[in-house]
Amino acid sequence: MTFSIHGIPVARGIAIGRAVLVASSRVDVAHYFIQPEEVRAEIERLGVARDAVVDELQRMQSDMPKDMPPELGAMLDVHLMLLQDDSLAYEIRRWIKERLYNAEWALVSQLEVVVRQFEEMEDDYLRERKADLEQVIERVIRRLKGAAAPVAAPPPRPARQHDLLLDDTLDVPLVLVAHDLSPADMLQFKKSVFAGFVTDVGGKTSHTAIVARSMDIPAVVGARSASQLVRQDDWVIIDGDAGVMIVDPSPIILAEYGFKQRQGELERGRLARLKNTPAVTLDGQKIELLANIEQPGDTEAAVAVGAVGVGLFRTEFLFMGRAGQLPDEEEQYAAYRAAVEGMHGMPMTIRTIDIGADKPLDDRRPDTHLNPALGLRAIRWSLSEPAMFLTQLRAILRAAAHGQVHLLIPMLAHASEIRQTLELLDRARAQLDARGAVHGRVLLGAMIEIPAAALQLRLFLRHFDFLSIGTNDLIQYTLAIDRADESVAHLYDQLHPAVLRLIADTIAEGARQGKMVAVCGEMAGDPEMTRLLLGLGLRSFSMHPSQILQVKQEVLRADAGKLSDWARAVLESDEPARLLAGE
């Protein structure tokens, strides 16, 4: 039966495919794709783990003291029976062969299918077998974990898979449905096969949503109980424009969305023609459209859509999911240098690590402080770990010898933080000089993303060459709304007069002092905000490459001079959203 689930739209477009539920099981396992040629080995790995569990259970059975309750023996019998059940084993192998899931993922996928069937049963005895199955699967997973290969980034969809597969189900697009995904998980899925994403939790500018947006595929977050209502392999439609997921659509609905999907593709084709068109407004204002990236390889997408530089490289993604083993100076230098060179002489803005809040270093050890968003995050963390920070600064300064590097510092609020940062930067340079290492000049910038920073612009402009407004956090901290919390997402208002006032003042003060001001939060990539930001005087926008052409289209249609009077009226209004709607 068709039903729909509403959430928050994150990335535009329509995806139609089969649902892949990830990590909704209570067992915490790695999810990754294997290569077709690895299918046999993966099935063998699963077989070895299963046999080991069978041995273990049989040993337990034979060693069981005589006075043990008979229920225990019966339970072991049930577990052994489940383990040796051919049809269960066949279905688990199917996930590996047909979907190229790793063995652990195949196990939890089948577990979910069977658990649903058990839950629908009338018979109490059979319903209770659910717990047995969960325990057995957990045992096998624990065995696999012991022998498992480390989780690699999921490989891209192999080109010639049919020869090796039982059928052609891989031709069906897959849509990922999860309760939550960390930004690092999301990044792992970046080069994978998924055609769309839905998560139960999250807000529009949570970092998971940001990474989803960078993948340029339809995504919906904050869809509450999606991962419980959708079943493994259900047909689903994701409408990333409306923030809706439709489950088990009827043929009429499918046809309608198929049409919308094709229209979207045509629109993309049309926008692609703007790639080499300079971003200039009707009244001749040159606008800089820059890219936000998470990994050095993302420069390719940035260049492909005609970005004139990178306005934000979120370096923290190099540090995440490494179980505390942070990248050393050489590894970081290689990454930053690759990013710099990937832009072929255009500016590369490297932001120092912004770890903390919804971007923990290690997903498995999330930040347990009471208010992580208000805690040891970004520059605060860097200053508390000076050796780590110096390593990063040295790597960035060395990469600056290979191109135009702008160094950007996140979350500054205090004069003392600015002073300490500048001192550490001097020290990093001195350390490089002492060992005769080559390094380059950098322009130094500060993120304006805490209201306290936006209220002391003169201090910031005295010390920095440029400013970059992080609207994602500026909105979060101005309005006291957790950007990752879907329950208050309706109050996360980028058009709140207080937010607009801080943005407008930052742009105006920068212009007065002849310093460049950019916006690199999600607002810069929202085509509905382009005219307002132009009207407020913004000339530099940084966003995910997937948004650049749409924003460029808005720029080409705008008259910045005429927009400034209107923008002033919006700024003076108590309810700017109304003015914007009736513009």
Candidate list 31, 79, 496, 520, residue with the active-site label: 520
* Least Å from the CB of residue 447 to ligand PEP: 7
- Other Cβ atoms less than 10 A from the Cβ of 513: the count is 13
Give the C-alpha separation, 211 to 294, whole Å. Answer: 8
Nearer to ligand PEP, 217 or 379 (CB): 379
Name which of 309 and 470 has its Cβ closer to Mg ion: 470
| Residue 471 binds: one of Mg ion, ligand PEP, none (C-beta under 5 to 8 A by kind) | ligand PEP
Q: How far is the CB of 524 from Mg ion (least distance, A)?
A: 13
- d(CA 466, CA 470) in angstroms, rounded, equals 13
Residue 141: Cβ within 10 Å count:
24
Name beta bridge partners: 348.
Answer: 310, 405
Q: Which is nearer to ligand PEP, 45 or 314 (CB)?
A: 314
Closest to ligand PEP by CB, 138 vs 473, is 473
Residues 6+ apart with CB under 8 A from 362: 320, 321, 322, 323, 324
CB of 412 to ligand PEP, least distance (A): 12
C-alpha dihedral (357, 358, 359, 361), degrees to nearest 10? 70
Cβ–Cβ < 8 Å for 377, 411? yes
Contact partner, 478, from ligand PEP, Mg ion, none, Cβ < 5-8 Å per class:
none
Closest to Mg ion by CB, 176 vs 519, is 519
Question: CA torsion, points 540, 309, 355, 547, in degrees to nearest 10?
Answer: 70
The one catalytic residue in 207, 439, 496, 544 is: 207
Nearer to Mg ion (CB atom), residue 106 or residue 409:
409
Q: Are 116 and 62 in contact (CB under 8 A)?
A: no
Q: Least CB distance from residue 381 to ligand PEP, whole Å?
A: 13
Binding site for ligand PEP (CB under 6 A): 210, 312, 314, 354, 449, 470-473, 520-521
Provide the minimum distance between the beta carbon of 463 and ligand PEP in the complex, in angstroms, as a whole number. 20
**At closest approach, how far in Å is the CB of 379 from ligand PEP?**
12
**380 binds, options ligand PEP, Mg ion, none, Cβ within 5 to 8 A by partner type:** none
Measure the CA–CA gap between 296 and 333, rounded to whole angstroms: 11
Instruction: Record the tokens describing residue 511, joined without a space.
Output: 């212009």
Q: From the list ligand PEP, Mg ion, none, which binds 314 (C-beta under 5 to 8 Å, kind-based)? A: ligand PEP
Q: Quick one: what does residue 567 bind among ligand PEP, Mg ion, none, with the CB cut-off 5 to 8 Å set by partner type?
A: none
Cα distances from 129 to residues 75, 229, 387, 398, 453, in angstroms, run 10, 22, 54, 60, 58
Round to whole Å and give the CA distance between 133 and 12.
39
Footprint on this chain of Mg ion (rule: CB under 5 A)? 449, 470, 473
207 is an active site residue: yes
Distance separating alpha carbons of residues 261 and 55, to the nearest angstrom: 52
The catalytic residues are 207, 520
